[in-house]
Amino acid sequence: NDTLGHAAGDAMLVHAAEVLRAQTDADMFVARIGGDEFVVFCTGRDEAALAALAGRIVEAMRKPVVFEGHECRFGVSIGIARGARCISGDEAVGKRLLIDADIALYRAKKRGRNRYEFFTQALQAEIVETKKLADDILRGMENDEFEAFYQPQFDARSREIVGVEALVRWRHPNLGLLTPDRFMRVAEQLNVVSA
């Protein structure tokens, strides 16, 4: 869309749909759910079969596509969720599977292009914990719970102080004094850290 226009973007969506159609079986349901996101729904496949399907999709999507003389390349990230057999009309199960697949997709994107990830309970627990920590960080900023600790820097030869390094600490109301290794990664993701 940005470099070749919306017609090129539309052509890439058509290509993605064709790849998905070619890689899936007749009993699988394929749909575009928005933007550049697609969903494949299938039943009766074990983890190995789903991994093989995802691998075939990744490889097929990696092949360049020519649009009006321009070679276009793009990657794909896939989130896979497995669950109990959906009962016809059971919206809650379908919604839960989509949420779980989205969590796995988030992990796949975070780890880089052209990969797939399975949803696991451990992954969900990690996401929930990260969300809780992010909420705590924002609340902690509102309540002035972050403090600067100053550490002198010495010249090794003269032993004179040549500078001071500022180190952040978080006086968490329940967990006590926390060092940056406990919160900095999430704070950076929130974009609340300035240089």
Model-level pTM? Answer: 0.68
Secondary structure (DSSP) of 38-88:
EEEE-SS--HHHHHHHHHHHHHHHHS-EEETTEEE----EEEE---SPPPT
Cβ-contact 7, 41 below 8 angstroms: no
Q: How far apart are CA 40 and CA 6, in angstroms?
A: 25
Q: What is the token pair recorded at 134?
A: 């992010």
- pLDDT tens track for 49-73: 999 999 999 999 998 888 888 888 8
Secondary structure letter of residue 113 according to DSSP? S
- Name the token pair of 91: 């919206």
For 148-169, write each residue's pLDDT tens digit: 999 999 999 999 999 999 999 9
- pLDDT value, residue 9: 85
pLDDT of residue 84: 59
Question: What is the 3 state secondary structure string of 137-170?
Answer: HHHHHHCCCEEEEEEEEECCCCCCEEEEEEEEEE
Residue 89 has pLDDT above 70, yes or no: no
Q: Does residue 36 have an active-site annotation?
A: yes
129 neighbors 123 (Cβ within 8 angstroms) = no
List 10, 36, 135, 155, catalytic entry: 36
